[in-house]
Chain A
């Protein structure tokens, strides 16, 4: 179990370091340059950042399960695009207005994305497809077919306005200054994401299924010897990853107003950030969520800086997460990749 212990002892390592760095930078900015921090980090800003982080978190949690089991699902971006599109189409065809319609869309989206992921998993596991190339293929199929189908349905690559899920306001608690707005007056999907993160952490590190998943990626022969079907474990993990990416796309849609299929689509590289978030969080769901929060915060920062008249080009500020990713991979690049990632497993019979 030394491998598992090693991973767990470093579980918050990278994400923790970056969180500390972020606080230090913020403190320097406040003290040395007189940046009015209180006007940037408003409760509304934090609440919105968390909402933006939720889809990235979900994709990251799914992706780390797949990779822990030994399959690199590089198609998260594509599955998120499908997720967002299916949610919009689902809501549209159910035709119920209000939160019920939005929830129906989310449910339909998760089911349909899961079906697509089953096909993908068969291609990867049964037919031993090259995981990286097939994952890129999924991205392209998503980038092409989601806007294509949107054009067929709505006559435009963008959908009409869709209902959202609203906020879950807890009376009394939501009156707490600062924290009330952030935690107790929040989108129910943020709560759902938090529950999924905690549950997936518990399953991965506290149950035998979690150990099976880790063993499938670290030492598949041993798992096979123990009488567990390695490929079944991998199927489960890959299908879970697609379902989570689909849910991530659906959450993204529910937090905005309509499906956007132009350019990089509304997903706009969040699936890629999901992959980076779990590498960054060293394959730990909690670390991945922390990293996703960082990306969400940076994403929201630009509008926030404009409100206090600091004019930064949105194009340049938008590059910040990508630069952070490269710096992190370089500085703390020694993320311990599960040793059998990318290798199809064939039982010796």
Chain B
């Protein structure tokens, strides 16, 4: 802390996430449910004000998420992406680092996954053995790519005091532009105007098993859940995780107990970005089978912020929160096809959820006024 002014200001920003997790589990659950319900209610009012039927819209929301085996597979597929990106955000927020750059890390991770598979495929045998090897290579490359891309803002924050909120957002824009240029020019597919890479080889795919949907595999879901549990274990059961979480809650205590604050920031960002990369590996291998124009990819990395906050930045809590977002986005595809309501409303509702989750005090005061209590919690 050479210059006191900078140090103070930095620690103010560092303390911000802390206030969000400063609540009991039950209270957080109440706030999450209340925010989501309030946001959907506002959405229904907007639907009614626009001259559509709110009941039909609500019905479409539910049917579009869980109404048939086909949409359920879609909901689960989308949920895996939200859960994994949500966990990536949760890791960083827990450690008091504002990684807003999960979208960029997802994009860079996905491209490294795709290109590493395409480049090594000619040297490996076909069939299942080669396929599994390629998927492993792709998954590792994705984690490395996402991790390294996240390490950049980590290093800049730790050693140059550059605000990670701004740098990660800028790196998101850079990832979109640069990857888009890469797959238009050197890495693009020959003989097509569509911005995309070559398709992955036939043997690189996860078998669908339970659901008859080629874009969703129960194996992918299982790997997602396993990764969530692994991250939760790292955060709570290892000294690395302990150092990270302590840095987030009480930076000065962490430093006092011998934690290297700068290295922890870089390690946290790298870990967070690696998980974002893994999310993208699943996105590429299970779903797309190639890499596509990054600007057209859904904003998983940004929605993941809401997912993580709904879960109070708890990796296990991210599972239900991710399922909620998977459901909302699945309905969004349904509504686009079967209803006249412009689908951008769903994005607006997601924004309202984020806005409301940011203000837990709103619900505390409302609960107090309604006599539900809350003082004794």
Contacts and interface: CB of A to CB of B under 8 A. Distances in A.
Contacts of B169: 272
A74 B161 contact: no
Nearest to B170: A322
B300 interface: no
Given A74-B165, A141-B351, A333-B161, A132 B16 contact: yes
Nearest to B93: A133
A136 B100 contact: yes
Contact of B181 (A123, A157, A272, A315): A315
A322 B9 contact: no
A329 B358 contact: no
B212 interface: no
Interface string B212-240: 00000000000000000000000000000
B129 interface: no
A16 interface: no
Interface string A107-133: 000000000000000010001111111
B350 A326 contact: no
Nearest to B305: A136
A316 B162 contact: no
Given A127-B365, A279-B166, A326-B167, A137 B352 contact: yes
A318 B354 contact: no
Interface of A is mostly: helix
A338 to B, nearest CB: 7
Contacts of B353: 137
A148 B358 contact: no
Nearest to A279: B166
Give the contact-size bracket for chain B: 35 or more
A342 interface: yes
Given A276-B166, A330-B156, A338 B347 contact: no
A235 to B, nearest CB: 16
Given A127-B361, A342-B13, A133 B351 contact: no
Contact of B177 (A74, A123, A136, A319): A319
Contact of A140 (B15, B46, B354, B362): B354
Interface stretch (B65-73, B273-281, B338-346): B338-346
A339 interface: yes
A341 B12 CA distance: 7
Interface string A51-73: 00000000000000000000000
B197 to A, nearest CB: 16
Contact of A134 (B163, B165, B355): B355
A330 B12 CA distance: 19
Between A3, A263, A269, A326, the greatest number of chain B beta carbons within 10 A of the residue's beta carbon is seen for A326
Interface of B is mostly: helix
Contact of B9 (A140, A313, A339): A339
A334 interface: yes
A192 interface: no
Interface in B83-137: 98, 100
A143 B170 contact: no
Interface string B345-377: 111111111111111011001000000000000
A144 B345 contact: yes
B24 interface: no
B257 interface: no
A334 B160 CA distance: 8
A139 B354 CA distance: 10
A137 B351 contact: yes
Nearest to B10: A337
Given A147-B342, A315-B184, A334 B355 contact: no
12 contacts: A78-B351, A133-B358, A139-B351, A140-B302, A157-B342, A157-B344, A315-B180, A322-B173, A325-B167, A334-B3, A336-B5, A342-B13
- Complex A-B, nearest 3 residue pairs according to Cβ-Cβ distance, in ascending order: A140-B351, A144-B348, A144-B347
Interface of A: 3, 74, 78, 123, 127-134, 136-145, 147-148, 151-152, 157, 261, 263, 269, 272, 275-276, 279, 313, 315-316, 318-319, 322-323, 325-326, 329-331, 333-334, 336-343
Interface of B: 3, 5-6, 8-10, 12-13, 15-17, 19-20, 46, 50, 98, 100, 156, 160-163, 165-167, 169-171, 173-174, 177-178, 180-181, 184-185, 295, 302, 305, 309, 342, 344-359, 361-362, 365
Given A129-B361, A144-B347, A333-B163, 11 more contacts: A127-B359, A143-B347, A144-B348, A145-B348, A152-B50, A316-B178, A322-B177, A326-B162, A334-B6, A337-B9, A341-B13
